[in-house]
Amino acid sequence: MWNEILHRSWLRLEQNYHFNDSQNVLNVLKQAYAESQRAYHTLQHISECLFHFEQVQDLLGDARAVELALWFHDAVYNPKASDNEECSATLFQDLLKDDLSTALLAKISQWIIATKQHFPSSDQDLNLLLDIDLAILGATSKRFIEYQQQIQCEYDWVDSEIYQHKRKQVLTHFFLQQPLYQTTFFQDHFELQAKQNLTLALAGNLK
């Protein structure tokens, strides 16, 4: 299923943007998302994002730009670094500078960087992109547990007590956001499940 979604999505992007070296760009992305330090930030995450993208693409003003941003938003990921989103945006610009307009490069780069902090925006396309990125919080309890394990795996170099403390801070931040999601679609379909997942995780009751 996930490979089908990835293939379908990349074909849409090829047909829309007519990349000069599409296969090379795709290979770079696939290699990046297969790096050994990743457990959650892999092609599984991108596939899940694209699945949700397909659910809401008719609500988007520039659907292909959002789709392209999703492919690149975690292209650079080092759990020990604090500039992953900025580096992902730089990689995006380096790979596609000859294929996209200056304005489009700038817009998508800004969107990629915005996934760092997920601040609400006046840009509805960006809000949907950010909600897609956080849709994992509203996944089934089984998938949410797997997600929690995957994130912990990426931080296995951190002392366990320190990790649990920091992770609780992150989950509390999401839990206290009212609403968590910025768009009606995600509020209607993911908000309740996300708050239930976060409540159980913070209470230590997710097994």
Q: What is the pLDDT of residues 41-97, one digit of tens each?
A: 999 999 999 999 999 999 999 999 999 999 999 999 999 999 999 999 999 999 999
Position 10 scores a pLDDT of 98
Tell me 76's DSSP state. S
Cα gap 107→161, rounded to integer Å: 39
- Indicate the angle between helix axes 2-17 and 63-72, nearest 10 degrees: 120
Place of tokens 């760092």: 116
CB neighbour list of residue 119: distance below 8 Å, 6 or more residues apart? none
pLDDT at 160 over 80: yes
Cα-atom radius of gyration of the chain, to the nearest Å? Answer: 17
Question: What would the pLDDT profile of 145-156 be if each residue is shown by its tens digit?
Answer: 999 999 999 999
